[in-house]
Amino acid sequence: MTERLTLHEYAPSGNCYKIRLTAALLGIPLERRGYDILKGETRTPAFLADVNANGRIPVLQIGDRFLPESNAACVWLASDSRLIPADRFDHADMLRWMFFEQYNHEPNVATLRFWLAFIGEAALSESQRAQLPARRAAGQAALALMDEHLADHAFFVGESLTLADIALYAYTHVAGEGGFDLAAFPAVSGWLERVAAQPGHLPLSA
């Protein structure tokens, strides 16, 4: 890989961590540039014009091109690697779990973590407070579906780690910060240990 890779990120974000973890597992060096999303640093005119018109991190900069969306960035990094199944069905099944992560898991599990652990319950808006029960129920449902699948699968797809595991690991392993009790999901807990034991694994705080 000859192009210079820069991750535009907010380090505590699980979406940003997915990209660091993928790169670490594959031994790909990444430069990092930080933005404080609590101070609106991804909403400045310069960020919107130069990095991501959608005003969000992560963005993987590949040379002079910018790739937003965490799972897209992981796919770019892992292209032609062991983290993407060669089998056509398994490849699509990996994407199925990554779309599930973005639609059913992250908006609930990650959002509650952000609201409760980063903004703080006392500082939530009325609208955010009103959404807490529904987001908690939807997050629980996502974790329960994962638990059911993992009860008889070591990893989400096939017999080894893929991007589906990385995408779902990022916010699941810190779901407790959003008030989710992972002890209620024993198969998820066992899978978290298997992902953390992968050679080259990197913690979120690294």
Three-state DSSP state, 65: strand
Closest to ligand GSH by CB, 55 or 179: 55
Q: In the bound complex, what is the minimum distance in angstroms from residue 69's beta carbon to ligand GSH?
A: 5
Query: Under the criterion CB under 6 A, does residue 15 sit at the interface with ligand GSH?
Result: yes
CB of 113 closer than 8 Å to CB of 181: no
Query: Under the criterion CB under 6 A, does residue 107 sit at the interface with ligand GSH?
Result: no
Q: Which of 203, 72, 73, 100 is nearest to 157 (CA)?
A: 100
Q: In the bound complex, what is the minimum distance in angstroms from residue 50's beta carbon to ligand GSH?
A: 15
Closest to ligand GSH by CB, 10 or 169: 10
Could you tell me the two tokens for 102? 């973005």
What CA–CA distances, in Å, run from 41 to 55, 144, 183?
9, 35, 36
Q: In the bound complex, what is the minimum distance in angstroms from residue 103's beta carbon to ligand GSH?
A: 10
Q: In the bound complex, what is the minimum distance in angstroms from residue 153's beta carbon to ligand GSH?
A: 24
Q: In the bound complex, what is the minimum distance in angstroms from residue 134's beta carbon to ligand GSH?
A: 19
Closest to ligand GSH by CB, 171 or 180: 171
Three-state DSSP state, 18: helix
* Total number of residues that touch ligand GSH (CB under 6 A): 14
Q: Which of 74, 61, 83, 90 is nearest to 3 (CA)?
A: 61
Separation CA 169–CA 146 (nearest Å)? 11
Can you give the length of the chain in residues? 206
Q: In the bound complex, what is the minimum distance in angstroms from residue 60's beta carbon to ligand GSH?
A: 10
Could you tell me the two tokens for 194? 């298997």
> Site residues for ligand GSH, window 36-75 (CB under 6 A)?
37, 42-43, 55-58, 69-71
Tell which one of 13, 22, 61, 108 touches ligand GSH (CB under 6 A).
13
**CB closest to ligand GSH, residue no:** 56
Helices and strands counted in the chain (H then E): 8, 4
Sites of contact with ligand GSH (CB under 6 A)? 10, 13, 15, 37, 42-43, 55-58, 69-71, 102
